[in-house]
Structure formats: structure tokens, C-alpha cells
Structure 1
């Protein structure tokens, strides 16, 4: 099944929302406001596309992601390149940047100042005080026209707006190529790894190992691609976990451990919503499950875990053991496989997949993990 650019963008925006879950689906609401104004003002299709991307991905420049780094990464992806400056810029004088700021501030007013479902035109009048200094007159006038329609406020307040976001996308049925899917997933992986403070680019390494294992097991070219994407996105749900908890050096409390263990549920919630990515969602979300049923968070066992998630689980375990982290030193390959083989004997990993990776590492050495073609 094809994966559309719109659906993936909305999923990407939902992932970024995990960094500030108290704001709900802020990227989609921002896009809704911006696209309504853009259509009211009859902007060209090219401008509408640029604004739609920027509205959904603007929060990528928050937290550990510097604007300069974001611009560089986004500019390397042709689908997103035209929106790079808008995504990283705030408070600038460019007309499109000012429109995005307007949408942000209207959303904040609507979200925090008025009861849900009762957003009066006063929210817009408050913004009028900044015409000229922050916002363009024509944008405000278009917004005032929209504000007269109850449907505008009802849809903005709707908890199901994310389910209808494709209806105001300017990309119609644009389908991602394999290269585009990989590039967008690599960008999201960079966001994940920066949040997790992973200097080793953990997600990319997991994707590379999983891809090699999939090739060894005879996966098709498409199957190898999809397991690589699953590897890139396997830790997506960790965006909801505070970075300080992920890098904590002392022992975790039971409550903190439960906070971390819930992250695959968020991975599943976001990826399974993207049409065409159900198999990727399964592989990415089930990597902490165990063949003996003692994994988390779904407690799957045996035949409930097909080969895809078993491969991701082994790849993730090896990559994690090889990395130096705030709470541990890096293990040698020999030590890694000693630990993994013991875990497999206890039912925690697939012993056959562990053996396949061991044989591959012995044959190829650590060069298998260098110079990843997935890196942006």
C-alpha cells in the first residue's frame, strides 16, 4: 500500500507534538489556520504547499534542535527544501513567517484563553493590536472573515481535526517514493536521537543492522527498505519521555521505569495511523517484546512476533550495548554477543537472529556500521 506525503507529514507532526503533549495536536491546528487564511487570500499552490509543510513541522526547531541544524537537514530533502527557512524562523519579517506566527498566537489564545468550543472573535481582535508590527493587515482581514463562521471555530476545537487534516492538504494524493520515505524517516530519526542525546546516531545504526539482517534472511528489496524505516523510527515514542530521564545516571525508580516502558505504545499510536505503514508500525513498536512473552508493553510471545520485530529487537540490543551512554560504558563485540546469547537462552531474544548477526559481525567487522547511506 502506498504512503502519501500528507499522511507521513501529519504523522511527523504528531511525533513532534510528543515533545509538548500538553498542547495536543498543535501542528495540525496551526496548519488548519494557515491553510484557511492562504485559501481565503488565494495564495498560489506553491505558496500553499510551502506553508503547509512549515506549519506541520515548525516545532522541529525546539529543544535540542538548533535552527541552523534544522535548516541544513531540511534543505537536503527536496520535498521540504522550500520550507526550510520558514520552519526554523520565528519572529522574522518575511510575510509567510509572519503568517505562521499569527497562526501560532491565535492557536495559543484559542487554546488557553477561552473554553473549548467557545472561541469568540475577541481572540482575533486581540491580535489586531499587532497589525503592522507583527502581522500583515491582509492576513488579519482574512482571519476576521473566517472568524465569522462557526464552522471554523468548531473544526479548530475538534478533537478529531487530525483525522480530517488530509482534507486541507495542498498535496492531494502525492505518494512518497522509497528514497523520499527514507529521507523523511532519517530526518525524524535525527530528531529522536537528539532528544535521546544519542551521539552514536542510534536509530541509524539500528536501521543499518536490521537492513543487513533482512538481506541475510532473503527479504525483498521493498521488505529491506521497510525494515530499515522501522529501525529509523523504532524509538519514536521516546519523544514523550523527558530527556533528563533518558540520560539519568542513577538507578531508575519503578515509576520512572514505567514512564520509559510506555514509549512503544506512542510509537504504535502514531505509526499505525499512517496508511500504508502498518507493517512498519508493528516492527518499530514491538522491539521490546520478547519471544517468552515477558517483554513490554503488549506482552506478545512466540508466533505473535514475526521475524521483522525479532530482527529490530536484536539490532537495537546490539547497537545499545555497543554505545557508551550516560549510565554505562560501551561493550566490545565479544561482550555484546555474550550478553545477547545469555538473554536469548532465557527467552529474551531470538537465538537464531542473534547467531546470524554474530556471524555477520565476525565476517564483516565493525565496518558494517560505518558511513551509513541513510545519514542526511
Structure 2
């Protein structure tokens, strides 16, 4: 949010239009969306990189992954290579050697805003941040440096960066843009976040994607209407959104979780709900996505809901989530084959935890595919 706020202030200072400002804020909020995917790819290669900001910012791979992730994001106007080049220095000394005005203006703004936000977050005082801009002037667009120094002279600019105020300040600046999408189009956006979620851990590398695909098969089997079909796909993509708050050290832990660690895991559907319920038109999606760890007998989490307030679509996602988890590798065990996973689920259904009819139908649908 700090990067987006600083970017927006710089853009207004140099005369951006409302539509360009709206897109810049979106790009700024998503500028590091490729970090987790790049960390995971490096880890897969046996390279462990610290997650502190300095180490992450030094990886060009996160720029490449981030640019790919946003290929289908519905900006008001798509601009090429904004994320790819958001670490390029004005003198050409960045990752890809692009210099001057050949660097997209959005990238130049985000680059300066990013470093200002990092310096501020590291504990630098306002004068130190301003000095750092001057000392590193070769890295930045001269017009943006001038705008940044003018903004920095105002106390309110720095006060708005405080944790207490930055979100409110950003929202107040964001142009009021209203757009309508059908759920099929919205799924292009939810897939972006699905990839970010799945990149959180090597053991969940295709978890959300797998659940979304299997949910699609089941919706077709039940002959759901087109709108419900796409709503369910979106809910499946976003069901683990709250896991972005869970530390990777817990998600990847090979041994038994402590009580506090398990409580943190149990909190993730709660955070999923709190994020999604803020979106108008997502009422049903929020319910289905957030209920995926609830049980029909009330033994689930985080709310302990039971059959009286778990609709059929919530029961479908709960079953698919269990099946997907059982049939993929986890840090504490190998993936199970179809028959063993279904037998476990049938036992759960017999105990009144999950929907028996969905379990039986999943057995029929996936028996040939998963063996």
C-alpha cells in the first residue's frame, strides 16, 4: 500500500489522468506479485533465498514471473512490461539494461516509490529518505526525483505513510471507477491470485488449480447453470486466499504442528472470508470459499458450522478440498492413490463429517482419471 500511495502521489504531481492513475495504483499494489513464484522456483533448484526485502528485490526472476501473472488482468488500459521493468535504473544499470525514457513511465514511478517505501519501512527518517534519493539520483527519472523531493517537504506526506493512515489515504486518492464483469471474466482475475496462493509452498504448487478443475467437473456432472459454474470456479481459486497470511515455515513443516501453529492454519478460512466479503456481488462465493474446512457435524473450523448452515455448494468444495489434499504430496506424507483417498472420505461421511452423496459421485467421476 505504501508503494501504491507514493506512486499515486508522484503521478498526481506530474499530471496523470484519472484512468492512468487508477491503473498505476493497480500495478503498484501488484508490483511484487511474482515474488512467491520466484522464491519457489529457486527453492526447487536447491537455492534458498532469504525472504527479507533486500534479497527479494535483488531477484530479476520475480519481475519476469510478475509480468506473466498479470497477462490477463483487466486494467483499464494494458501497458507492456510495467512489472518486468519496475527495477530498471534510469542510467541503464538495472536487471535488463533498459535506460531513460525507454523504461515505461509506470515502471519508473513504481521503482522510485518502491525504494522510498523500503527506506521508510527500514526506519529511515524523512531527511534520510530524501538524502537517499539525492545520493542515488542516477537511478531515477529526474522529473520524478524533483516531484518526490517536493512531496517529501510536506509533513502530511509522511504522516499518511503511517500504518494507521496509509490505507485510508490510498483509498481517498483512488479514482472511483465502476466496471461490470461476468463471472467467467472474473475467473481470469481469480486465477492470478490462485497462482500466487499456490506458489506459497512447494507442497501446494497446484492445490487451488486442482481444486478448481475438479470442481468444474463436478459442477458439470450436476448440470449447474453457467453462472453458478463460474462462481464455483472462482470460489475454488480463492478458497485458500487466507493462507497468504500463514508463515511458510508452518505450511512446509514436515513434523507435527504445535497447538499455536495449528491454530494459525485453522485461521486461514477466516481470513479468506474477511477478504472476500468486502467485494460486492461475492456473497455466495464468499460462503462457499470460506466454508471449505467446516464439517456437517460441527467439528470443523473456523466457525464450527453444521449441516443446518452449510449449503450444497459449500459441501462440494469441502469434499473436493479433502480429496485434492489427500491425493497430493505433503511435507509429512506422499500422495495417496484414488481408492485410498475415497475410502478415507467414505469413513468421514459415515461419521457425519462430509456429504456422502458428493463423495460417492466423486468416486464415480474421478475413479478412471486419478488411478
Q: Structure 2-normalised TM-score?
A: 0.80
How far apart are 1:76 and its partner, in Å? 4.6
How far apart are 1:287 and its partner, in Å? 0.5
Maintained 8 Å contact 2:198/2:208: yes
Q: Does 1:317 align with 2:322?
A: yes
Q: Which runs of 4+ in 1 moved over 6 A?
A: none
Gaps of 5+ in 1: 1-27, 370-376
Distance 1:280 1:130, change over 3 A: farther
1:278 alignment partner in structure 2: 283
Q: Alignment partner for residue 103 of structure 1, among 105, 113, 116?
A: 113
How far apart are 1:313 and its partner, in Å? 0.4
Task: Give the Cα separation in 2 of the matches to 1:74 and 1:276.
Answer: 23
Distance 1:132 1:149, change over 3 A: closer
Task: Give the Cα separation in 2 of the matches to 1:165 and 1:275.
Answer: 20
SS in 1 for 2:36: coil
Q: Please show how residues 217-232 of structure 1 align to structure 2 within 5 Å.
A: 217-232=222-237
2:55 alignment partner in structure 1: none
Maintained 8 Å contact 2:7/2:113: yes
Maintained 8 Å contact 2:5/2:169: no
Task: Give the Cα separation in 2 of the matches to 1:134 and 1:290.
Answer: 55
2:306 alignment partner in structure 1: 301
Q: Alignment partner for residue 12 of structure 2, among 33, 39, 50?
A: 39
Distance 1:52 1:153, change over 3 A: same
SS in 2 for 1:86: coil
1:54 alignment partner in structure 2: 27
Maintained 8 Å contact 1:75/1:84: no
Task: Give the Cα separation in 2 of the matches to 1:112 and 1:164.
Answer: 21
SS in 1 for 2:139: coil
Distance 1:277 1:154, change over 3 A: farther
Distance 1:46 1:302, change over 3 A: closer
Distance 1:135 1:329, change over 3 A: same
Q: Structure 1-normalised TM-score?
A: 0.79
Q: Alignment partner for residue 141 of structure 1, among 138, 146, 164?
A: 146
2:49 alignment partner in structure 1: none
Gaps of 5+ in 2: 39-60, 90-102
Q: Does 1:263 align with 2:268?
A: yes
How far apart are 1:83 and its partner, in Å? 5.0
Task: Give the Cα separation in 1 of the matches to 2:303 and 2:80.
Answer: 38
How far apart are 1:151 and its partner, in Å? 4.5
Task: Give the Cα separation in 1 of the matches to 2:238 and 2:157.
Answer: 34
Task: Give the Cα separation in 2 of the matches to 1:272 and 1:236.
Answer: 12
Q: Please show how residues 147-296 of structure 1 align to structure 2 within 5 Å.
A: 147-157=152-162, 159=164, 161-162=166-167, 165-170=170-175, 172-198=177-203, 201-296=206-301
How far apart are 1:253 and its partner, in Å? 2.4
Task: Give the Cα separation in 1 of the matches to 2:259 and 2:243.
Answer: 17
2:50 alignment partner in structure 1: none
Q: Does 1:345 align with 2:350?
A: yes
Maintained 8 Å contact 1:146/1:152: yes
Maintained 8 Å contact 1:53/1:80: no
